């Protein structure tokens, strides 16, 4: 018999904690103090998670949320800089002593949100926020 443990591909959606966790985990390992083309970041993210598809729009939305969370936590100290050039959107993560801790805490928060959604799904007979 074929292995029934195949997982269907996932389309990442804005606001989905499972997608957001993967994005934050990936972003935490990007080069710092260097402007990166967002489309290159998205291509590398899709190569990392072959069973997921992340559109640039979804990644940009999560980065805007991260940028807002950083601003709330550190009162406007711009360390996640989104910009645009002739090739499209860019991302600059300015290295600081707070950045690693911030990203780890964001990852933990998203993991907790994803675990809570799994718990609700399990206890709700397969009903999720999408149903």
Q: Which CATH number fits domain 10-122: 1.20.120, 3.30.200, 1.20.58, 1.10.10?
A: 1.10.10
Give the predicted TM-score (pTM) of the model.
0.88
pLDDT band at 130 (very low <50, low <70, confident <90, very high): low
Strand (E) or helix (H) holding 57: helix 56-74
At residue 125, what are phi and psi to the nearest 5 degrees?
55, 45
pLDDT surpasses 70 at 129: no
Tokens representing residue 6 in the block: 């195949």
pLDDT of 45-102, one tens digit each?
999 999 999 999 999 999 999 999 998 988 767 889 999 999 999 999 999 889 999 9
Secondary structure (DSSP) of 82-126: EEEETTEEEEEE---TTHHHHHHHHHHHHHHHHHHHHHHHHHTTT
Domain ranges of the chain: 10-122
pLDDT score of 76? 66
* Better-scored residue on pLDDT, 61 or 130: 61
pLDDT surpasses 60 at 107: yes
């Amino acid at each position: 018999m074929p292995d029934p443990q195949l997982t269907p591909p996932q389309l990442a959606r804005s606001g989905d904690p499972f997608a957001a966790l993967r994005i934050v985990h990936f972003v935490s390992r990007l080069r710092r103090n260097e402007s990166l083309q967002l489309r290159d970041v998205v291509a590398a993210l899709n190569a990392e998670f072959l069973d997921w598809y992340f559109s640039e729009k979804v990644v940009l939305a999560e980065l805007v949320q991260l940028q807002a969370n950083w601003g709330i936590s550190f009162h406007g100290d711009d360390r996640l800089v989104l910009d645009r050039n002739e090739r499209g959107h860019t991302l600059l993560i300015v290295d600081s002593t707070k950045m690693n801790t911030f990203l780890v805490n964001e990852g933990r928060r998203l993991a907790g949100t994803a675990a809570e959604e799994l718990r609700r799904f399990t206890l709700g007979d397969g009903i999720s926020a999408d149903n």
